[in-house]
Amino acid sequence: MSRRTKKPLAKRGPGGDRPKGGPNGGGRPAKAGSAKPGAFKAGPVRGNRGEDGRPLSARPVRKRAERPAAGRPAADRLGTERFAGRSGAASRPRPEAIAPEPEKAKPDAPLPTKVETVVVTADENGMRVDRFLEARFPGLSFSHIQRIVRKGELRVNGKRADSKDRLEEGQSVRIPPLKLDTPKAPGHLSEAEQKTLQTLKEMTLFEDADVLVLNKPAGLAVQGGSGTTRHIDQMLEVMRDAKGQKPRLVHRIDKETAGCLLVAKTRFAATALTGSFRHRSARKIYWALVAGVPKPKQGRISTYLAKDESEEDSIMRVAKHGDDGASHAVTYYAVVETSGQKLAWVSLKPVTGRTHQLRAHMAHIGHAIVGDPKYFNIENWQLPGGLQNRLHLLARRIVIPHPRGGVIDVSAPLPPHMLQSWNLLGLEHDRFDPIEHAPEE
């Protein structure tokens, strides 16, 4: 569901109050029911009316530049917004408020037919390896990029690199011969490709010329891997344009997690949206069903996470600062409703974006997500009758500045197995929608 009205920005409380820490977060834990300004809490739906009772449609539409936030960069102003409503929406300014900005794409570099070594420029400083290849050689498929990186064919200063590694100005990058996927002429899709395109259309929550937001079903992978033959990145091949440009994934969510997945349809949009994630002006809200009831009912989880690899599987563990491969991870949580003391519906806001962050964090505080095959290890815990033993985690909502102005605000519905659980437990998914507001630090 989407709507195109801009939402008013809420002011901070006196002194810019922010919620205190919870488990592992340092400081005093936030108390349940706290009404401090800026608190991350759950609240009832306000429908289509603002706090003053007036319909939102009656409010003037202002450009974001007219709402200065003292002492904060423009990219961070979204953090002061207060979102409430029965369901999310794709909010865009009216057409006359948008100043179209033509895409300024540099000429495409020819694909190397033999091994080449290139030097990272100042403009490319800080870029991830996969984004570097996408920018240099538009049209390369994600699977092709991952394959050459995984095989060690691409090297940085003579060493193997990971696709997520960030490059530095002056580094030498060895690039193997590359192969560009042949673009398909519009209207010449096979029957199977037409079915794939129709499936993507049925998943679509929001779409315009630059951005696509999909409602990814649980069980469908976002990208390829060993034994994975069907995934979102492969499906997007059917959406290549006449120039051979394919929509690009902006972020990822786990295979068993359902919900909002952001895709850029143009290079201009990919750069802008990736920058919003990097500067943390994007907001992602997740819903989960967890074992027990977290105490306090709202708080902050702050740990270091590192990956433990094995031949059969990989899992994220809580690590110490300075451990090899350890990255800082921060999550805010708030209990929305409970089913006795057995289960709780929680709203989660990841500040960082580590692999399996929410799953590992909830297990770390003793309230693992129901149906999690990797992190649910509570002894003698029985799944209530009627609930499916599947991961109960939904990428419920994404709020991010639109590349050409305004705000994209999209929500995904509960997937079938979670909707069944909510109904059996008497949780009112259509009554509550948490107020998502938590600081970055």
pLDDT of residue 139: 64
Look at residues 125, 141, 175 and tell me which one is the last residue of a structural domain: 175
**67 burial class (0-12, 13-18, 19+ CB within 10 angstroms)?**
middle
pLDDT of residue 181: 55
Q: Cα–Cα distance between 253 and 395 in angstroms, integer?
A: 8
Q: Cα–Cα distance between 424 and 420 in angstroms, integer?
A: 6
Do 365 and 266 share a domain, yes or no? yes
pLDDT tens, residue by residue, 243-287: 778 899 999 999 999 999 999 998 899 989 999 998 888 999 999
* Overall residue count recorded for the chain in this entry: 441
* Rg of the chain taking only CA atoms, in angstroms: 22
- Token pair for 248: 């690009």
- Token pair for 206: 């929001």
Do 42 and 76 share a domain, yes or no? yes
Do 55 and 156 share a domain, yes or no? no
Do 270 and 375 share a domain, yes or no? yes
Look at residues 157, 175, 193 and tell me which one is the last residue of a structural domain: 175
Do 129 and 30 share a domain, yes or no? no
Q: Which of 254, 372, 409, 433 is catalytic?
A: 254
109 within domain boundaries: no
- C-beta separation of 79 from 440 below 8 A: yes
pLDDT of residue 305: 96
Do 252 and 275 share a domain, yes or no? yes
422 within domain boundaries: yes
For residue 394, the surrounding DSSP H or E stretch is strand 393-401
427 within domain boundaries: yes
- The range of the structural domain enclosing residue 392 comes to 1-103+185-441
In sequence order, the 6+-apart residues with CB closer than 8 A to the CB of 342 are 291, 292, 384
Do 85 and 171 share a domain, yes or no? no
Do 213 and 130 share a domain, yes or no? no
Do 244 and 360 share a domain, yes or no? yes
For 131, list phi and psi in degrees, rounded to 5.
-70, -35
For 276, list phi and psi in degrees, rounded to 5.
-65, -40
User: Is 254 an annotated catalytic residue?
Assistant: yes
168 within domain boundaries: yes
| Count of structural domains within the chain | 2
pLDDT tens, residue by residue, 130-176: 888 878 876 677 677 878 888 888 899 999 888 888 999 999 999 88
pLDDT of residue 177: 86
Do 291 and 256 share a domain, yes or no? yes
CATH code at 129? 3.10.290.10
pLDDT of residue 290: 97
- C-beta separation of 305 from 354 below 8 A: yes
Secondary structure letter of residue 96 according to DSSP: G
User: Which of 128, 45, 31, 39 lies closest to 87 in space, CA to CA?
Assistant: 45
% helix, strand, coil for the chain, step of 5: 20, 25, 55
User: Which of 159, 158, 128, 124 lies closest to 146 in space, CA to CA?
Assistant: 128
CATH code at 56? 3.30.2350.10
Do 22 and 139 share a domain, yes or no? no
- C-beta separation of 266 from 103 below 8 A: yes
Torsion of CA 89, 90, 95, 99, to 10 degrees: 140
- C-beta separation of 409 from 401 below 8 A: no
In sequence order, the 6+-apart residues with CB closer than 8 A to the CB of 88 are 1, 2, 396, 397, 398, 399, 409, 410, 411, 433
In sequence order, the 6+-apart residues with CB closer than 8 A to the CB of 200 are 214, 235, 236, 238, 239
Report the share of the chain in percent with pLDDT over 90.
46
A 10 A CB-CB count for 391 gives 27
Quote the pTM value.
0.63
Do 224 and 348 share a domain, yes or no? yes
230 within domain boundaries: yes
- C-beta separation of 213 from 206 below 8 A: yes
Look at residues 175, 203, 221 and tell me which one is the last residue of a structural domain: 175
Tell me the pLDDT of the chain (441 aa) as tens digits: 554 444 444 444 444 444 444 444 444 444 444 433 334 444 443 444 444 544 444 444 333 333 333 443 333 333 333 333 334 444 444 333 344 443 443 445 566 678 889 999 988 888 888 888 878 876 677 677 878 888 888 899 999 888 888 999 999 999 888 765 555 555 578 889 899 999 999 999 999 999 999 999 999 999 877 677 789 999 999 998 877 788 999 999 999 999 999 999 988 999 899 999 988 889 999 999 999 999 999 999 999 999 988 767 789 999 999 898 899 999 999 999 999 899 999 999 999 999 999 999 999 999 999 999 999 988 889 999 889 999 999 999 999 999 999 999 999 999 999 999 999 999 988 876 654 444 444
152 within domain boundaries: yes
- Token pair for 237: 């091949």
180 within domain boundaries: no
61 within domain boundaries: yes
